[in-house]
Structure 1
Amino acid sequence: MPSEHSHHTFASRLNGLTAPIGTWLMSASASTAEALGYAGFDWLLVDMEHVPIEYRDLWHLLQAIQCGGAQPIVRVAANDPVLLKRALDLGSFNVMVPFVENAAQAQAAVDAVKYPPLGTRGFAAVHRASRYGTWADYGKEANDAVTCILQIETPNALANLEEIAAIPGVDALFLGPGDLSAACGHIGNPGHPQVQMMISDAIVRAKKIGMPMGIVGGTPELVQSYLEQGYAFAAVASDIAMMMKKANEFLTTLKAHQAPAAVATPY
């Protein structure tokens, strides 16, 4: 694997002229992941927190995403060094860590994704990330190649935003409107004015300290409004949500033109 990987990281794209647009992969389907890459998504998130994706599945999903031309981001199930190490060894250079609440948890995440002396990530020479040992300098270059994204999902995490962002090795933050709305007592309603106010305040603070921040929205219009506020990257909906939306539209259109079925009478 050539060393230029370290110069084309996901993090390096977060201060460009255009915001990378992605979506959530909830189907765990490699063919869907590949197709969405060909559709033009810049990045695709493999959700190992809410979807029963095993690491063997992740292997094939990463192959499919990279074949389709998108960048994968793996959201691990928890802030756990073993989970992060395995995602990185399988060849994802971008990881997202859920529910980071404070600087200590942020430091733990960074430690897990960096090789010594910058962290404590365990080293193996031969795995998919190192192209099975053919990228001779992987161990030296991986620290610069990996993008570490931490999720801000509660009012407590928002209160600690600046101290979380100040940890060296944190490349970006990602605000989770769903969990934030639940934590504020508005479960299922990220559009609540209180939640939207917190979303707007978060990006103002993140921009002030120069920390790229991402977010997810359910519609293109909502995502565009977040980008106009200054969010550096965003996901729109998910593969399942997009499929269901189109399925419902097609069925509604077709069934609207069908004559009512005749009702058989017993006599």
Structure 2
Amino acid sequence: MSDSFRTRLRRGDLLVGTIVGLDAPEVIEILVGAGFDWLFLDAEHAPASPQNLQRLIIAAGSTPCLVRLPTQDEIWVKRALDSGAAGIIVPQVNTAAQAANIVRYAKYPPEGARGIGIARALGYGYEVADYIGRANAETVVMVQAEHLEAVRNIEAIAAVPGIDGFFVGPYDLSASMGKTGQVADPEVVAAIDTVSRAGKARSLSLGIFGVSPESVAPRIAAGYTLVACGVDTMLLGNGARAVAQALKPAR
């Protein structure tokens, strides 16, 4: 039996994925075929519904999907996990109390208070005992460090049992510091480094997004192992533009 995605994550394997915002199972199948280790299904900035997310997860087959939730709401946590996601990425987690609530929603008793439903992850009712028996050990809970408040509270957040790691949101973090989009600004970089140190001190996994391999390479060298590189729309757009610009007459 192969190791779970969470086992690979906590072991420190380099796991390369990309962000998916398009609501198309065909896109998922193409990305899986490209060889990504995992897919970042975005329900925060993309118009995703629970029903459509489940269809995308089904299309991904054995490739693990992490769902970035639109809110910290308990119902969204349950819906994402019940649909068969390998885990969740939760935005704007700025305090230890918020992080503790997320863990409680994501884990079954005694580690949490996740409700039991007859859903896809539980084999539509035919694999309830099997799933519940392994879910707590296999469900990934990543919280986003993407605000200056989170950076200030990062050691307390890191100490919350059940958190698997931090997924840094460099663009939102820069905005919260009054430096919107300036992700290479020394103060923004220093804030990201603060998150890195807190995570490493607790042996937590570190994740980050970048628009290109070149942009994430320094973070991989610094110990980030959960990498979301690129976005489906830009991967499509970049490929299409390259073809169009290569073939049309120079203007």
How does the TM-score come out when normalised to structure 2? Answer: 0.94
Deviations 1:127-170 (A, max 9, x none): 10011122233223221121111111011101211211111111
SS of the equivalent of 2:23 reads coil
Query: Does the 8 A contact of 1:200 with 1:229 survive in 2?
Result: no
State the match for 2:143 in structure 1: 150
What is the match of residue 133 of structure 1?
125
Aligned residue among 83, 93, 101 for 1:100: 93
Residue 17 of structure 1: CA displacement? 6.1
Distance 1:15 1:72 in 2: 16
How do 1:110-259 and structure 2 match up within 5 A? 110-124=103-117, 126-135=118-127, 136-255=129-248, 258=249
Aligned residue identity for 2:137: D
Distance 2:13 2:162 in 1: 23
Q: CA deviation at 1:236?
A: 0.5
Tell me if the contact between 2:10 and 2:164 (Cα under 8 Å) persists in the aligned partners: no
Q: Shift of the alpha carbon at 1:120?
A: 1.4
Report sequence identity in percent: 36
User: Structure 2: how far apart are the matches of 1:181 and 1:224?
Assistant: 19
Secondary structure at the aligned position of 1:117 is classed as coil
Measure, in 1, the Cα distance between the counterparts of 2:143 and 2:155: 12
- Please give the alpha-carbon distance, in whole angstroms, between the structure 1 residues aligned to 2:194 and 2:156: 16
Q: 1:148 to 1:251 in 2, by over 3 A?
A: same
Matches of 1:79 and 1:41, distance apart in 2:
27
> CA offset at residue 39 of structure 1?
0.7
Instruction: Return closer, same or farther for 1:259/1:173 CA change in 2, 3 Å cut-off.
Output: closer
Report how far residue 40 of structure 1 moved: 0.5
* Distance of aligned partners of 1:17 and 1:95 in 2 relative to their CA distance in 1, 3 Å threshold: closer
Alpha-carbon distance in 2 for matches of 1:194, 1:130: 45
Q: CA RMSD in A?
A: 1.7
Larger Rg over CA atoms: 1
| Structure 1 Cα separation of the partners of residues 180 and 45 of structure 2 | 16
Match of residue 57, structure 2, among 49, 57, 62: 62
C-alpha distance in 1, partners of 2:44/2:8? Answer: 25
Gaps of 5+ in 2: none
Give the corresponding residue for 1:264: none
Q: 1:8-30 CA distances to partner (integer Å, 9 max, x unpaired)?
A: 33221124464100110011221
Q: Is the 8 A contact 2:145 2:195 kept in 1?
A: no
Please tell me whether the aligned partners of residues 158 and 198 of structure 2 are also in contact (alpha carbons under 8 angstroms): no
CA contact (8 A) 1:21 1:42 kept: yes
TM-score w.r.t. the length of structure 1 is 0.88
Please, which runs of 5 or more residues in structure 1 have no aligned partner? 261-267
Structure 2 distance, partners of 1:13, 1:22, is 14
